[in-house]
Amino acid sequence: MTEEEELQFALALSLNSEQPQPSTSRSPSPIIPQQTLRPELPSRTMSIQDQLAEVRRQRARHYQDHQVDQAVEATKSVPRMGETKAGISKTAAGAGSSKKRALEEKEDVKTTMNGRSIMDEEGDDDDEIEFVGIKKVKAEPKQDRTARPLPTSSSSSSTNTISRSSTSFPSFLNPSIRLTRTQGRHPSSSTSAASLSRNTISFDQIVRKQDLQKAFIYSFFIGQDELFKYLPLGEWSEGRKCPIIIGRDMNQDPLAHQIAAQLSLSLNPSSYQNMDSNTFSRISLAAAQIYEGLYGENYRAVYVEKTRVGCGHSKVGVLVFEGFLRVFITSANLMALDLEHGDNHWFIVDLPELPARRSKSSPTPDFEQELLEHIRALGCPKDFVNSIYARYDYSSVKDVSIVASIPSTAMYKDEERARYGAMRLREVVRPILEETAKGKDIEMEICTASIGGMQEDWLRGMNHCFTGGRYKPLERTDIPAFTMTFPTRSDVEATREASQAGASQIGSHFKYLDSRSEIKAMFRHYLSKDQASDGTGKGCLFHQKFYMAFPKGTKDKDEKLSTKSTPPLYLYLGSANFSKAAWGKPNPDVKKKQPATGEMMRLADVCNYELGVVVRGRDLLGMLEPGSVWEDVMPHQRWTAKYKGQEKPYNSEVWVKR
């Protein structure tokens, strides 16, 4: 069918008039019911492509509205948590497959340290994937995550053969760090952009839709079609099966809000955090049915379990290709603002498939264990996790450490305190600093899109963790001299218009002008290196969460001298902003019989799910493209001017309202 024929057909459907038959076997989008109001016709002055896109958007919106009522009705038979899970007898009319969905009668199992383990669904129901050295206990029944088995990837199907491109091979066998390829970093945009394009990547290069076999992708916020166009979903599926599991925070999904409204509920923070498990499951299943109807059977929607406070803030992808597994961990929300217009980091690695699955008695690589535990906590189904467990070679990331946060309802203590958040960071960086710092104190340079309350005791506790335990918060009254790179309002207004929309993600949550002089002295202006693409000098904003540790004295030397600068001892990149919600609050453990010391710490107030990686400074150049210098990992200028006078950190009006 040509584009003109498809537009004519789409208009006929939208008008509910006599419908011409399409000249292709590809199924059209679901037809809008007769009683539905007619959508507004696209302007005839638009191009055929734009008219067609507008019709598709309007039809999808009307279809979504129509399906919400039916999907909510269909979930009324969802059993309460802990009861026998019979199947759901109805599905939303027209919402994807007509197959009945079965809720498997299984209980989750969790470990005392990590929150849950992963069931091996290829074997008996009692088989489990066991991480060496972790004791397992029975857990209370949780949200069922196996409502529908994943369809089989079509990579081996004789009826749906995929034409493999010549680039169907791993590109990141060495762990790599890349920046988002923003407007001024496209090689063809200008001469100066050609050099800036080094160490950059676009999202289509990461997901490689034509070669993808299946995937789990999670982000705090998802820009719907701004992400889905990169994946084999809906009109972009090209008719092939490729299971795509999309996870997100329910409170950030407009469809979930619409479904909740039909149940006379609100997803405001208070209502969401007090929602019972049965209602949460009903909304989840209704949304899954509607998304399948909108985007086809490839789409499988999941949600991270609701938190008492905080949110599911991680950003991660686990992509299965023929012969290797690709993992990315990023600071970018999966929407155009971050995928195309903002400074963000991407950690990417390709893990080769093993000749045979690793035996159950073999130790689980640390990176694999931390990764699988975290995506499971984010809602990734057991069948997907089991399908990738013990099948890939993690030797290339043996010196890369995952640092995750999991919300706590109480204070982490004992062996748990080293598992998450700031205390996990302390344990990861300790051996790095013991080897490289050579007794020197540590200075931190930090650039994150959101900054918390900057309480003095919290800053000292964080410095204890940044320094691997060297800094003793109980013995100090000073404020650590961090360097904070963060925009003022004038910095935001100086960026290009397409990027300024991203300022809604930037917030500071303390009264800067009322702060002590030591805190004010930390702050420098944000200036992206992407500055000259359109001839105006206007650059972009950011959503990065980037931390670097240097030996004390490096800052003054590097800023004043033109000699080659000193690389960091380690760096962190990922989803964690500089806030207590992301990292938790390291507290001295004063309940012990003996006096508290810097080593006797507990971790409290972790609110968010977060995910990032720590990389040793000496490994950094090997993660960049040939010919790079270590500063190329920074998307912004390093030594910008300090704040003056009444300048203060930018705070989005969105954050002010909150």
- Residues belonging to the binding site for substrate are 315, 545
Catalytic residue among 62, 313, 374, 525: 313
CA distance 366 to 353: 17
Q: Does residue 48 contact residue 3 with C-beta atoms inside 8 Å?
A: yes
Alpha-carbon gap, residue 393 to 388, rounded angstroms: 11
Closest to 565 in 3D by CA, of 640, 635, 631: 631
Q: What are phi and psi of 402, to 5 degrees?
A: -80, 135
Residues sharing a CB contact under 8 Å with residue 86, sequence separation 6 or more, in sequence order: 77, 79, 103
List of residues 6+ apart from 390 with CB closer than 8 A: 129, 354, 357, 358, 359, 360, 362, 364, 368
- Is residue 525 annotated as a catalytic residue, yes or no? no
440: left (phi over 0), alpha (psi -120 to 50) or beta: beta
Structure tokens at 495: 């960026």
Q: Kindly list the distances between the CA atom of residue 145 and the CA atoms of 80, 380, 394, in Å, as whole numbers in the listed order.
A: 14, 7, 26
d(CA 499, CA 246) in angstroms, rounded, equals: 25
Distance of CA 531 to the CA centre of its chain: 27
Which tokens is 209 given?
């839709």
DSSP secondary structure code for residue 353 in this structure: B
Bridge partners, 599 (sequence order): none
Determine how many CB atoms are found less than 10 A away from the CB of residue 99. 9
Token pair 């918060």 is found at 473
Number of neighbouring beta carbons within 10 Å of residue 465: 25
How many whole angstroms from its chain centre is CA 359? 31
User: What is the torsional sign of CA 295, 299, 300, 306?
Assistant: negative
Our answer to whether residue 313 is catalytic in this structure is yes
Rg (CA), the chain: 25
Question: Hey, what amino acid is at 87?
Answer: G
Catalytic residue among 62, 341, 525, 543: 543
Which amino acids are annotated catalytic?
313, 543
